[in-house]
Amino acid sequence: MAGQTDPSLSIFSGEEVEFMAEDEMVEIVPNMRMDPLNMLCGDFGPFYPQMATQVPLWLAIAMKKRGKCTIRPPEWMSIENLTRILEAERDSQAAFQVLPFHYVEISSLLFEYAPDDIPDIYMVRSLINDIRDVRFHKVETSLESFEEAHSSAVMVKDLSAMEVNLVRPFVGRALQAFYKHGSPELVPNPDGMSARRLQATDNIPRIDWNKFYIAYRLLSHAL
């Protein structure tokens, strides 16, 4: 059907988003000596016991799995910082707090593979889950303002990778529909009724929030 995209061509899978996040740098403290690694994706090390060094997350997890290092959780994952972010997220309906682009993936990978390296993990985990929920609720409500905005573009400031990926199929389609119905040359209108008036008479498709919410739930469970 004209105007529709093939989702398989335009969407990253959860695994692919995670793959991208695994290139983010983290600090590790090795417990063994190892020569520098001169890899395709960069040079890391040398590694000495008790000497902190920066490596990509995938490398940190691989070493952690073999018991060769501890991972230092990034600074933004401290309880103080997360509490502050959660409060700020709740206070402001419009703005999103600045978090790392891959905060969802980084935190869930660390929870899975390095739970013993995160102090107060239960607290940290629940704070991050709360932040995710509050932010996603905000994403949903801010989507309602699409129609008033210039529907040809929407700014999604400070959304994270996973959040963008979750809303992408829906938002992309919705915007495309708005665009299509708002362009006079694409809509056959014999009596010359303008696109603006069409909008005013509320003929544009409404967003099916239930469907959207279910899709989101399914996606977040899948992750």
Partner 1 sequence: MDSGLDSGLDSGSTEDYETDVELLKRAWRQEKSAPEILQFESALVRRIVEQIQLMEETVEEFTDSGIDPLTVSLYQMDLDRTQFLLRSYFRIRLQKIEKYMFHIRDNAESHLSEKEKVFVERCCADLQTHLEKSVLLQLPSTYQSVFRQSSEKETDMVPRPHLDTFVVCKTNASQRPLDEPFEMEPNVLYFVRYKAVKKFVEEGKIDLY
The footprint of partner 1 (CB under 8 A) covers 2-6, 8-10, 12, 16, 19-20, 22-23, 34-35, 37, 39-42, 58-59, 62-63, 66, 68, 150, 152-157, 159, 161, 164, 168, 171-172, 175-176, 179-180
* Greatest C-alpha distance within the chain: 79
Q: Please say which residue, 124 or 163, places its beta carbon nearer to partner 1.
A: 163
Neighbours of 128 (CB within 10 A): 21
Q: Please say which residue, 27 or 78, places its beta carbon nearer to partner 1.
A: 27
Strand partners, 54: 27
58/52 Cα distance (integer angstroms): 16
CB of 90 to partner 1, least distance (A): 22
CB–CB of 79/127 below 8 Å? yes
Q: Please say which residue, 176 or 199, places its beta carbon nearer to partner 1.
A: 176
Q: Please say which residue, 37 or 195, places its beta carbon nearer to partner 1.
A: 37
Strand partners, 53: 28
CB of 31 to partner 1, least distance (A): 12
CB of 125 to partner 1, least distance (A): 26
199/114 Cα distance (integer angstroms): 52
Q: Please say which residue, 121 or 219, places its beta carbon nearer to partner 1.
A: 219
Q: Is 110 exposed, middle or buried (0-12, 13-18, 19+ CB in 10 A)?
A: buried
CB of 62 to partner 1, least distance (A): 6
39/160 Cα distance (integer angstroms): 28
Strand partners, 29: 70
CB of 80 to partner 1, least distance (A): 26
CB of 177 to partner 1, least distance (A): 10
Q: Please say which residue, 106 or 159, places its beta carbon nearer to partner 1.
A: 159
212/221 Cα distance (integer angstroms): 14
Nearest to 70 by CA among 85, 47, 52: 52
Q: Please say which residue, 36 or 119, places its beta carbon nearer to partner 1.
A: 36
CB of 98 to partner 1, least distance (A): 11
101/38 Cα distance (integer angstroms): 27
